[in-house]
Structure 1
Amino acid sequence: MTSALVAAGCLVAALFLARPVPRGGRWPGWMLALVAGPALVAVVGVGVLVGAARFIAPAAVLAMLLVGGLLLRRRHRAGTDAAQTATRIQEVCEVLAAELASGRPVGRCLEDAVELWEPMSSVAMTHRLGAPVPDALRVLAGRPGAGDLTLVAAAWQVTQRSGGGLADSLAEVAGTLRERRATRRLVRSELSSARSTARLIAALPVLTLLLGSGTGGDPIGFLLTSPVGLACLAAGVLLTLLGLWWIETIAGSVEAAA
């Protein structure tokens, strides 16, 4: 039974590891979890085979804590990167509007925008080739945090069809993006208290264990040496990680709606 479990875990882990790395060189969180889960099962199975189950069970709980922490950190970092991207797009729009209003050619303005945000190089290349710039902007808007480029693309396309001033249109879009940024900043500041509260609640069990040890009890020994304690520890760690992930999911959806 154990050999079959180990073989199944290794096989599933190998199948997911054999998949090509997604564009950007980063594995999605769900894929990392699917890889880490079977790998963890395989490690536990090996520990049972070699007679080290009492050491493997706490190590498995620790591995679950580390993997969950890394996934949560990646998710938080992705949200931070998306917010920085939105800020760069606002700056790009403001620079384009100001330079176009001063009479500089569109191509040169796009080249200057590349210095603020490197992915704009694809838009500058599209303009040099004579292809539609709004289409390139919409493709670039698919990046995390770059959704505001759809407004820039719409303004660009409208001015091309109507013959209006591109600088004035982009100036209006820049004003809209400033308002959106202020709203997002307010939402992010309100959500930071909820995130801080969730992290504090997640840390309270550790403080409780320390207090219990200081009063003459041995809660840590109970959690690490007895089967019931290990089950409670695993369930507690899992529920804590799920709670933090749930908070991040709710906060991320609110930030996306803002």
Structure 2
Amino acid sequence: MTGAAVGLDGAVVAAVAALAAGSAVLLLVPPVPRLDPAATSAATGAGTAAHRALPLGLTAPLAAGLLLLGAGPATTALAVVAVLAVLAGRSLLTTRRRRREVLATGEHVLETCEQLASELASGQPPGAALDRAAVTWPPLGPVASAFRMGADVPSALRAAGDRPGAADLRLVAAAWQVASRTGQGLADAVDRVAADLRAAQSTRRIVRGELASARATARLVGCLPVLALLMGSGAGGDPWGFLLGHPVGLACLAAGLALGWAGLAWIEAIARDVDAST
């Protein structure tokens, strides 16, 4: 067996060891919980910060364990790079899932407001309208309970609006409070809020459509290095052996993955800021 073949076999073994280490770490790391309806935004932010700090706390013990088990520096470095890549990808997927949940919550808020406006306009009492809206969207259950107990409904609506994506409920709370204080028709106030929310949601859909092309372009650019590696392998080169078996190649691999993750995270941050401003 030639030296090149031995080096390639060592790179393959190192890659398998890295994937096994990454899988073991993912089994030990608990999955990120779904958004809790009763959780506050501060608790959500704290959980997100802890999740982002998790990979840095795992790489040092992993590297030390591999070195103690007799793994070489190249294998240890490859395992660390693989684990960080897996966790970084998991972080991006978690961010994407949370964004989808926020968008779904915004759609539920709009549907709930339209349902309230429709039922109030048809002559239904506010309590019955809130009960039906709570059946359609359970997070409104505390609001319906507050009305039945004679508590402050606008405060309950603002509390429900603390959910990620449900901030528009604060407009409903303001309309409810103005109607109760001035004696103005509640149905007309909620209907105007529903019309404003429809217009705002339409603008958000247009903005999300424009951002979708930027996200797709970023993902395409992120896949181009893999295509280049495949083309290099087909042309008779050995880019995989260089990346997985040479110290300089490992450094290039780590830098490329870090830059790719940073680019995707930057696009997501820009999109999040745009969503928050619309």
Tell me the TM-score normalised to structure 2 length: 0.82
What's 2:254 paired with?
234
Consecutive unaligned residues in structure 2, runs of 5 or more: 1-28
Larger mean Cα displacement after TM superposition, 179-188 or 123-132? 123-132
Task: State the AA in 1 paired with 2:70.
Answer: G
Q: 2: distance between equivalents of 1:157 and 1:235? A: 55
Asked if the contact 2:232–2:238 (Cα under 8 Å) also holds between the matched residues in 1, the reply is yes
Tell me the TM-score normalised to structure 1 length: 0.88
Q: 2:170 aligns with which of 142, 146, 150?
A: 150
How far apart are 1:251 and its partner, in Å? Answer: 0.6
Q: Percent identity?
A: 46
Equivalent position SS for 1:76: helix
Task: State yes or no: 1:43 paired with 2:62.
Answer: yes
Q: 2: distance between equivalents of 1:22 and 1:133? A: 27
Q: 1:252 aligns with which of 272, 275, 278?
A: 272
Evaluate the alpha carbon distance shift between residue 22 and residue 76 of structure 1 in structure 2; reply closer, same or farther with a 3 A threshold. Answer: closer
How far apart are 1:256 and its partner, in Å? Answer: 1.1
Q: 1: distance between equivalents of 2:80 and 2:69? A: 15
Consecutive unaligned residues in structure 1, runs of 5 or more: 1-16
Q: 1: distance between equivalents of 2:96 and 2:53? A: 20
Q: 2: distance between equivalents of 1:238 and 1:135? A: 45
What does 1:1-258 correspond to in 2, within 5 Å? 24=36, 28-53=47-72, 54-258=74-278
Q: 1: distance between equivalents of 2:267 and 2:35? A: 28
Q: 2: distance between equivalents of 1:83 and 1:166? A: 27
**Relative contact order, CA 8 A, sep 6+: which one is greater?**
2
Task: State the AA in 2 paired with 1:109.
Answer: A
Evaluate the alpha carbon distance shift between residue 246 and residue 226 of structure 1 in structure 2; reply closer, same or farther with a 3 A threshold. Answer: same
Asked if the contact 1:91–1:116 (Cα under 8 Å) also holds between the matched residues in 2, the reply is no
Q: 2: distance between equivalents of 1:70 and 1:115? A: 34
- Please list the CA deviations of residues 176-212 of structure 1 after superposition, one character each: whole Å capped at 9, or x if unmatched: 0110110000000000000000000011011111111
Count of aligned residue pairs for this structure pair = 239
Q: 1: distance between equivalents of 2:258 and 2:35? A: 30
- Please list the CA deviations of residues 222-250 of structure 1 after superposition, one character each: whole Å capped at 9, or x if unmatched: 11111111111111111111110011000
Evaluate the alpha carbon distance shift between residue 23 and residue 180 of structure 1 in structure 2; reply closer, same or farther with a 3 A threshold. Answer: closer
How far apart are 1:23 and its partner, in Å? Answer: 8.2
What's 2:9 paired with?
none
Q: 2: distance between equivalents of 1:131 and 1:78? A: 32
- Please list the CA deviations of residues 7-57 of structure 1 after superposition, one character each: whole Å capped at 9, or x if unmatched: xxxxxxxxxx9xxx9983977333123122111211111111122133332
Equivalent position SS for 1:104: coil
Task: State the AA in 1 paired with 2:83.
Answer: A
